[in-house]
Amino acid sequence: MSQEGGKAGPQRAGGTSSVTAQTMEVQNLSAYYNKFKAVTDVSMKIEPNKVTALIGPSGCGKSTFIRTLNRMHEIARGGRIEGKVLLDGEDIYDDRVDPVQVRRKIGMVFQKPNPFPTMSVYDNVVAGLKLERRHKKSELDEVVEKMLRQAALWDEVKDKLSANGTDLSGGQQQRLCIARTLALEPQVILLDEPASALDPMSSQKIEDAMQELKERYTIVIVTHNMQQASRSSDYTGFFFIEDMGQPGQLWEFGETSKMFSNPERQETEDYVTGRFG
């Protein structure tokens, strides 16, 4: 387990290993903030190399739920869960598992673009890699180009890699954050409303990038944009909250084509056709 000299401790995956998308399985998961139950009893299977979209009205627990998938939920005050989340058959909430390692395998892109303002574009991309160990410059150069290409940003920023990360436009910043996540070669990528702060053009570019990315990764995306969900996802989960103060539930889950054309439950149909929310 122990590797010599690595300041970051054991088992940090290198940025050059090959990637395999993994299945995630959520079993009877409930999420809490102190005593308040925000999400109750969610079970679903997240398929590899597919895009799974999570939709639903505001405050129904989608964001809380997606943050339980890489143990970011427990950072919030009083954040805890019950249930299991399996990555490739292993519970990421097992006592022996270090949340730091979980987050390296399951990357996350946030609602608001959050590049590190004191770092250049280049350093933003390799910020995660630099945590694990020393890398050769040539190795990093390679990673930067590869990841920026995967995030569909290379052509726009290849001449300003030393510019500040925050000098880019909002949409570019968000794709930079995607590249930064990809650089760790995670097995799963979680996106929490990645386009909600962006204009339609930038949003489209992120959607396009996602289609490319699912070739390599397992993708989960929270979105408020019905068109985006129906166009770009393979599976859709509809979260719903019955009443104020009640916890959010996974109301219905299935293939996207079915969820949008012929859902089982009335609330799902009302929501996807824009009758509420």
Is residue 77 a contact residue for other proteins (CB under 8 A)?
A: yes
Q: Is 240 left (phi over 0), alpha (psi -120 to 50) or beta?
A: beta
Is residue 150 a contact residue for other proteins (CB under 8 A)?
A: no
Taking the complex as a whole, how short is the minimal distance between the CB of residue 117 and other proteins, in angstroms?
4
Q: For residue 150, give the nearest of 75, 72, 205, 74 by alpha carbon.
A: 205
Is residue 72 a contact residue for other proteins (CB under 8 A)?
A: yes
Rounded distance, CA 125 to CA 83, Å?
34
Taking the complex as a whole, how short is the minimal distance between the CB of residue 118 and other proteins, in angstroms?
4
> Of the candidates 23, 114, 120, 230, which one interacts with other proteins according to CB under 8 A?
114
Is residue 103 a contact residue for other proteins (CB under 8 A)?
A: yes
Is residue 108 a contact residue for other proteins (CB under 8 A)?
A: yes
> Of the candidates 80, 88, 97, 116, which one interacts with other proteins according to CB under 8 A?
116
Taking the complex as a whole, how short is the minimal distance between the CB of residue 268 and other proteins, in angstroms?
30
Is residue 96 a contact residue for other proteins (CB under 8 A)?
A: no
Is residue 180 a contact residue for other proteins (CB under 8 A)?
A: yes
Rounded distance, CA 258 to CA 221, Å?
18
| Residue 122 CB contacts under 8 Å (≥ 6 apart), including other chains | 140, 144, 161, 162
Is residue 14 a contact residue for other proteins (CB under 8 A)?
A: no
Is residue 184 a contact residue for other proteins (CB under 8 A)?
A: yes
Three-state secondary structure readout of 75-112: HCCCEEEEEEEEECCEECCCCCCCHHHHHHHEEEECCC
Handedness of CA 203, 208, 214, 217 (dihedral sign): negative
For helices 200-213 and 170-182, the axis angle rounded to 10 degrees is 20
Nearer to other proteins, 8 or 226 (CB): 8
Rounded distance, CA 135 to CA 106, Å?
22
Is residue 166 a contact residue for other proteins (CB under 8 A)?
A: yes
Q: For residue 147, give the nearest of 127, 125, 129, 167 by alpha carbon.
A: 125
Rounded distance, CA 109 to CA 235, Å?
19
Owner of token pair 């590899």: 48
Owner of token pair 């509420």: 276
> Of the candidates 63, 64, 70, 268, which one interacts with other proteins according to CB under 8 A?
70
> Of the candidates 3, 43, 45, 100, which one interacts with other proteins according to CB under 8 A?
100
Rounded distance, CA 161 to CA 10, Å?
31
**How many residues interact with other proteins (rule CB under 8 A)?**
32
Is residue 1 a contact residue for other proteins (CB under 8 A)?
A: no
Is residue 104 a contact residue for other proteins (CB under 8 A)?
A: yes
Spatial contact of 217 and 49, defined as CB atoms under 8 Å apart: yes
Nearer to other proteins, 54 or 106 (CB): 106
> Of the candidates 61, 107, 171, 247, which one interacts with other proteins according to CB under 8 A?
107
* Residues forming the site for other proteins (CB under 8 A): 8, 12, 70, 72, 75, 77, 100-101, 103-104, 107-108, 110, 112, 114-119, 127-128, 131-132, 164, 166-167, 173, 177, 180-181, 184
